[in-house]
Amino acid sequence: MPEKQVISQTLDNKRGEILFRKRLIAQQLTNQGNLEHEFDEAALHQLLRERMAKTLSDMQQLSHSGLRLAPFLEIGAERGQRSLVMRNDLGLQGFAADISYDMLASCSHFARVFHKSDLPWRICCDVNTLPFRSGSIPFVFCYETLHHFPALSSVIQEIERVLTPGGTFFFEEEPYRKVFRFRVFRGPALYSASSRNRSWLRRVLDGFFSIQPCNERQFGIIENHDIPLREWRNALSRFSRRQVELRGLKLRSPLDGRRNPFLYFLVYFFGGGIAGVCTKAGCQEPISSIDLEQALACPDCRLHGQDQSLLRKPGGFSCAHCRTGFPVSNGVLFLLPSALRHTLYPEITISSC
């Protein structure tokens, strides 16, 4: 019998995400730590500036095309730099979600660094159980996030669930499998300064022939850079409209490849990145006012397929149905399923916050 495909992160994968990012943010904020090949403070700030500038450009283009961008949900938000752009540069309300509490908590630090006065709602959660009501979010986006999962299907299913009818899912800077790939020599670490400063030609050669080490893998974090295009097509097929583009060797081709089959096969053969704007079926209704709390749902009840509201309480929120409490710490709301929160963050309780 064929081996059953793993479609979700294991508990060890999630622990690895949390531990690595806890050490990484501590090292980058205090210059103390032993993680090799990671950016120092100056390089990190430059990288984040570039990411924020790209986010602003991307979102302005989406807005000009008539898409509704708020309330937004960013998954894999890390330090929240892109959500800071949404809140401050575009004046939009929404959520920055990540499984790493330490990354989300650092958002306030980077808000001061980049002179962004307004913070997004920061939600520590599991993407496989998004703590939002079905059909409640008009715009979900992510950058460099989906490849941290063993398969796309369950994550994109959750994203499609929380989108409003007619809502939009935008993703960028994700990988797909390189057909032409030979691991011949050891290249620079994947997220190192030396990797970032490579020439275009060296980037191409490393992409085709090198093994690039990565600290994340050493912590058990999934780095799935070999996602087949067939898997992308299948996972995104649940959306009624899809504008998905392959990018490689400074070339671009639509995923369907109909307009220029030669260009498509050239980009497909050499591999690269994939980006898309996907629309959920249905007609989007206008919203006269935005109440972000109304979009929240109890993650424990979501495990049973139920959308149950949360009520604000001292120190956090509680479920109106099962009465489970969900704490807030340093501005970060923990909306992990309670059993998972006790496992991953045993120190975080209602009383401790």
> Binning pLDDT at 50, 70 and 90, where does residue 240 land?
very high
Mean pLDDT on 156-178: 95
Tokens 């540069």 label which residue?
A: 89
> Which of the four pLDDT bands, split at 50, 70 and 90, describes residue 62?
very high
Mean pLDDT of the chain: 89
Distance, CA of 229 to CA of 97 (rounded, Å): 27
Helix axes 11-30, 41-64, angle to 10 degrees: 120
Residue type, 202: R
Residue 353: predicted pLDDT: 44
* pLDDT attached to residue 189: 59
SS3 116: coil
Backbone region of residue 38 per phi and psi (left: phi > 0; alpha: psi in -120 to 50; beta: other values)? beta
Report residue 197's pLDDT band, with 50, 70 and 90 as the boundaries: low
Taking the CB of residue 25, how many other CB atoms lie within 10 A of it? 21
pLDDT grade for 286, boundaries at 50, 70 and 90: confident
Give pLDDT, residue 225. 84
Question: What pLDDT is recorded for position 205?
Answer: 63
Q: Name every residue whose Cβ is closer than 8 Å to that of residue 87 and which is 6 or more positions away in sequence.
A: 93, 94, 116, 118, 119, 120
Q: Which residue has the tokens 């019998």?
A: 1
Q: Is the pLDDT higher at 54 or at 252?
A: 54
